[in-house]
Structures are given as C-alpha cells and as structure tokens.
Amino acid sequence: MSVEPAGLVPTLSPRAPSAEHGVSPFIELDRPTWARLSTEIDSPLNQEDIDRLRGTGDPLDLDEIRDVYLPLSRLLNLYVEAAGHTHNVTTTFLGERMHRTPFVIAVAGSVAVGKSTIARVLREMLRRWPSTPDVQLVTTDGFLLPNAELERRGLMERKGFPESYDQRALLRFVAAVKSGAEEVRAPWYSHLVYDIVPDREIVVRRPDVLIVEGLNVLQPARRHRDGRVGLALSDYFDFSLFVDARTADIENWYIQRFRQLRSSAFADPQSYFRRFATLSDAEAEATARGYWRGINEPNLTENVLPTRGRAQLVLSKDADHSVRRVLLRKT
C-alpha cells in the first residue's frame, strides 16, 4: 500500500547527494538565504489557496509559500524563459517557424513526503507568471498497471515499485508531449478505489508547462537483455526536483496520514481501504507501520533514494515538514 550572499554552504549534509573527495555538483543554501532570492516578489497565493492545495498531514502555510516556493517558482520561470530563448535561436538557425514544445518538470520523492502537495503548489504559482499561464499536472499513478494485471503477475504487494508501472506507456506519453503533439492522453487513477478507472482519461493539450509527479520518475534507463540501453523518462525532462527527508520522519508522516484517513477517505463506502476506517489508534499504527516497512520503505531504499542525485534541485525537509535547505545543481 503506497497511500500515497551569506549562508552559501559549499559542503553537503549526510542526506544530500554524495560526491567523491568532498566535491559536490550541488550548491547548498539554507532557508534564509534561499528565501531572500525572491524578496521583491509578492506571493500570489492566499490562505484559501493553501487550504485547497495541501494534502492530508502536510502543514503547509504562508511562510512556507513565501520562503520556499516563491523563490522556486521564480527560478523555474527563469528556466522556462531561457528555454524559450533557446527555441528562438534554433528556429532562427533553421529559418523556419516551429511550435515551442512544453517545458516538462519532474517532481520525485517518497510516499508521504509531500511531493503531491508541492506539485500542486508549483502548478498554481507558475500559472500566475505571464509567460506560463497554462500549466498542467500529471501523476505517474495513472501508469500503474491495473489491479487485475498486478494480481495476475503477483505484484500487488509491490505496487509503486518500478515493475508495477507500464513503463513503455509512460515513456511514450512524455515523449509525445515533448514532440509537440496537439493532444496526448493518460490513464486516470483513482486513489479512492485504488485502481485505474477504465472510462476516464487525462487529456494534455500542449501546455506551456507540464509537471510530472511520481515516485520513480528519475529512474535511469534500463539495460535490455541484448546489452542496449534504452531511453529514460528523465531524458525528456527540462527540470527535475527531489523532495527529501529523513526516512524515520517519512515513516512518521506516513503513519500520521494513515490515522487521519480513517475519518475521511477510508470512511467512504466506495473506498478500497474502507476496512481500515474502524481501526483503533493502536491498530491503525500497527497496520500502517507494517505497510511502510514491508512495501514503502524497501521501495524508498532500493529505488527512490538512489535517484536523488539525478535531480537538478533537492528540497530537504525537517521533521515538521518544513523545508530547511535547498540543493541546486551547479551549471
């Protein structure tokens, strides 16, 4: 179950992407330094927006928006504008007009780390910038194999692991978006029924920005049996960020969220997890901890954490869910 100027520090923390001989490809900024990078810009979101965007158990507030996500939206806007300049150079060189393709941003991280909330916040904030009014969001949940197929393959207990996804379909989807296709469709996943909904789709029609959020979006390319190395999903990303935290903190967040869901999503008669709605606090904690240690922690350790160093930016959270430092890849 995957219910889902001063202050620049040249060295890395133990949780930061590692590097040989103490030399890092990242610049690490503490929160005050990062926050000062957008002091001349007002936050476009208010408390009502935040209440709508934050997920269960994620204490997002106005300070976090101002200090962390406002600078991040400014940085991403600059990247989008730079991509536009590159596009203009290419069309000038070729001597013909071509449609600019969407700028694709990846958001990766563990179950319960808050990546879905961050993806929604970035979508809303980037929409406020004049150069990116059309921002769409797709989660990789829609590319999970249907439950019936997972059962057939004996993979229900590995849902969320790389092998539980239709990797080819996901790769084709993002490749089509980056090729400039007029319309690209993705399957619809329902967290309520914990499965793909066959008669629903997400339709992406050449947005300015597409955000792709998921556990395994930064996985490297797989090597085929004949030795060839295929394309990786990340080959199509223009920018990628990883949401990081101590594993013990993520486990606590996962358990807290599970307990809160008993009186909300789990209580819905249509919920796949309705059997958990009447669990006591002790039973809920034991159940959640079992799922975490049997499924989600192994997936985090084996598959998600190893991709952290592939990101262009890492948001590092403390135990209270607040971002305390940011690592930005040097260019």
Residue 209 and residue 69: Cα distance in Å, rounded? Answer: 16
Q: Does any domain span residue 3?
A: no
The answer to the question of whether 317 is labelled as a binding residue is no
Whether residue 258 is contained in a domain is answered as: yes
Is-above-0.95 flag for pTM?
Answer: no
Residue 111, annotated ligand binder?
Answer: yes
Q: What is the pLDDT of residue 22?
A: 63
Please indicate, yes or no, if residue 236 is contained in any of the structural domains. Answer: yes
- What phi and psi, each to the nearest 5 degrees, are found at residue 320? -90, 15
154: domain range?
8-220+229-329
* Segment 125-156, tens digit of pLDDT: 999 998 899 999 999 999 999 999 999 999 99
Q: Tokens 């049996």 sit at which residue?
A: 225
| Closest of 286, 144, 307, 93 to residue 220, by C-alpha | 307
Supply the mean pLDDT for the chain. Answer: 90
Residue 323 annotated in ligand binding: no
- Tokens encoding 278: 């009447």
Specify the number of domains making up the chain.
1
pLDDT, tens digit, for every residue of 275-295?
999 999 999 999 999 999 999
The annotation status of 109 as a binding-site residue, yes or no, is yes
User: Would you say 227 is a known binding-site residue?
Assistant: no
Does some domain include residue 2? no
Please report, rounded to a whole number, the percentage of residues in the chain having pLDDT higher than 70.
93
The CATH code of the domain that includes 47 is 3.40.50.300
Residue 246 in any domain: the answer is yes
Q: Is residue 325 part of a domain?
A: yes
199 φ, ψ (degrees, to nearest 5): -100, 15
Please list, in sequence order, all residues whose beta carbon lies within 8 angstroms of the beta carbon of residue 75, skipping any fewer than 6 positions away.
Answer: 37, 313, 328
Contacts of 41 (CB under 8 A, 6+ apart): 70, 74
pLDDT of 212-223, one tens digit each?
999 999 999 887
**What is the spatial distance between Cα 180 and Cα 302, in angstroms, rounded to a whole number?**
34
